[in-house]
Amino acid sequence: MASERPDLAAMLYPLVRELIAIELPILAGHEVSMWGYSVLAALDDTPVRTQAALATAIGADKSRIIGTLDELQQAGLIERTPDPDDRRVRLLSITPRGRTVRRAIRKDIQSAELQVLDSLPAADRKTFLRLLQQLHTSR
């Protein structure tokens, strides 16, 4: 019976939950919700898109992100401009201020999140991070 190990999800999920617990106070400090941060990140990495495309990109329903977009727009972090070529579409873009906020949040998160890997030796931590990144970009 040697080959016993926990399921992948059983090992990964606690990590994610710990990470969320780390991120929430940071996000609150910047007055941005988790969905809001997710939107800012997506828009910052790939500039313009329709709301529907954005929604599927971050794994949400198109109706689910509307409140988030309203908040971000009102805070001046994103812009929604009607597409002249197809007036049904709202072209999305992150504002300079949105970009600044996104980077500040990311800096705070990334300087705190690595603590979840603390139990690994430094070399292993680096390896884990590299493999995870590889896994993430090749999806």
Summarize as ranges the residues that interact with its own copies (CB under 8 A): 5-17, 19-20, 23, 38, 41, 59, 106, 109-110, 113-114, 116-117, 119-120, 124, 127-129, 131-136, 138-139
Distance CA 114, CA 106 (A): 13
Task: Give the shortest CB-68-to-its own copies separation in angstroms.
Answer: 16
Task: Give the shortest CB-86-to-its own copies separation in angstroms.
Answer: 30
Distance CA 45, CA 64 (A): 21
| Other beta carbons less than 10 A from residue 32's beta carbon | 24
* Closer Cβ to DNA, 16 or 114, answer by number: 16
**132, interface contact from DNA, its own copies, none, CB < 5-8 Å by kind:** its own copies
**17, interface contact from DNA, its own copies, none, CB < 5-8 Å by kind:** its own copies
| Other beta carbons less than 10 A from residue 50's beta carbon | 16
**109, interface contact from its own copies, DNA, none, CB < 5-8 Å by kind:** its own copies
* Closer Cβ to its own copies, 21 or 82, answer by number: 21
Distance CA 97, CA 30 (A): 12
State the amino acid at position 51 in one-letter form: Q
Helical spans, DSSP H, in 1-139: 8-29, 34-45, 51-57, 66-74, 96-113, 122-137
Site of interaction with DNA (CB under 7 A): 35, 50-53, 60-64, 66, 69, 80, 86-90
Residues in the chain: 139
